[in-house]
Amino acid sequence: ALAAAAAADARRAAGQALGPLDGVPIAHKDIFVTQGLPTTAASKMLKGYQSPFDATVVARLKAAGVVNVGKLNCDEFAMGGANENSAYAKARNPWDTGRIPGGSSGGSAVAVSARLVAATTGTDTGGSIRQPAALTGITGIKPTYGRCSRYGMIAFASSLDQAGPMARTAEDCALMLQAMSGFDERDATSAQQSVPDFVAALTTPRTGATADKPLQGLRVGVPQEFFGQGVSADVLAATRAALTQLEALGATLVDVSLPRTELSIPVYYIIAPAEASSNLSRFDGVKFGHRAQRYGDGNVDKLNDMYRKTRAEGFGPEVKRRIMIGAYVLSHGYYDAYYLQAQKLRRMIADDFQAAFQVCDVIAGPVSPTVARAIGSSTDPVQEYLADIFTLPASLAGLPGMSVPCGFGEHQLPVGLQLIGNYWQEAQLLHAAHAFQQATDWHQRQPTALA
């Protein structure tokens, strides 16, 4: 990091042309492989592992001149929504250190919220950028699936995982996303899609817009399913106030329906574990990572015993739970009943969004049903899964979504407004978020301990 900072200073002193990210301190979620630094995915299974290459996202940001100051804690293999599943330590919310920062990109959110770095990288499989951004009062965007390369990003669920930036503002997210985006031939899921100028889009006026009505003509869909039972009153109040602010900026609110929202939970928790059980089968102690020290005692098959003990020791409880769920739904006799049906419903969820986008340009609602809960207050995995209800639908559909600070709820904890766009419409989301942030100061608030 010091060498990279010195190089940035030297470029500046020499009068070289500098990019907007040159010399900016950032940090990477510990799910992106980084040459010269350990990459563990917050798991004992990869303790001490060092990659011989950089992930594409890491390499692209390095080429843009950023200074990487280190790696950031997360839920093990990105499985979790509280950062309580890390094999090393629990990340804590800067607004109240007795509360979770969200997950799985909890460390990424904390580093920005606590003003340790200007921006971070995160990954979002079912809400892992948007939810921690909301709970810590920062901005984060999950791009369209395929916008950012997954090469060198340790896989959880390959058809859902997507990299994205987290920062204090929509403008900073746009700068980061500009550098991170683009086709990568080494990633089979990378899309050959042109990358717009996200930064210029922030201030490109809409047709018919005025200085005080920058969102004139923008149709904001409000899904009734996002405002029903189960959402706390404080989150509802902050979200509705944000919608009123969007109206004041010229946007038109339109009622829409996403009727299969509730089904997104069982669909996701069939498909994601199924893919995880396959992806994590590579961690067996043979080539890299943790290997059990004692195995093969007695009259047993030594190789299979090494596999079993290595995986039993190396994986944490939540990762084991999801591997077992995934293996079950893919097993003979259950594949058709569970996995195949989940994939059919996934398509229907995506179709629901397309029906909604016939009458609106973006969709808005809460990110999380509640503000950040206390660390250790939840012991029921199913309750944790239910908290993902508003972030999972966009993930299953592969749509871009972001969280924008929009107020405070119970215990003066941050609330995030979720904006969801159609495929490849990140620029439109960032424009709307930027306009909102020019009219409000929620993104400028900082934890009391830093004030």
DSSP-derived pairing of the beta strands 414-421 and 362-366? antiparallel
The CA-based angle 407-127-142, given to 5 degrees, is 85
> Are 83 and 102 in contact, with CB atoms under 8 Å apart?
yes
**DSSP sequence for 218-244:** -EEEEEGGGGSTTS-HHHHHHHHHHHH
Secondary element (H or E) of residue 318: helix 317-330
Residue 128 appears among annotated catalytic residues? yes
Which of these is catalytic: 43, 51, 86, 104? 104
- What lies within 8 Å, CB to CB, of 420 at 6+ separation is 353, 362, 363, 364, 394, 399, 400, 401, 429
- 309: annotated active-site residue: no
Nearest to 105 by CA among 26, 180, 55, 30: 30
Catalytic residue selected from 86, 128, 149, 264: 128
Tell me if 5 sits within 8 A of 278, measured CB to CB.
Answer: no
Helix axes 426-439, 170-180, angle to 10 degrees: 160
Which of 265, 295, 316, 277 is CA-nearest to residue 87? 316
Q: CA 422 to CA 419: how far, in whole Å?
A: 10
Burial of 273 (0-12, 13-18, 19+ CB in 10 A): buried
Side chain identity, residue 261: T
Residues 236, 226: Cα–Cα separation, whole Å? 9
Does residue 104 carry a catalytic annotation? yes
Residues taking part in catalysis: 29, 104, 128
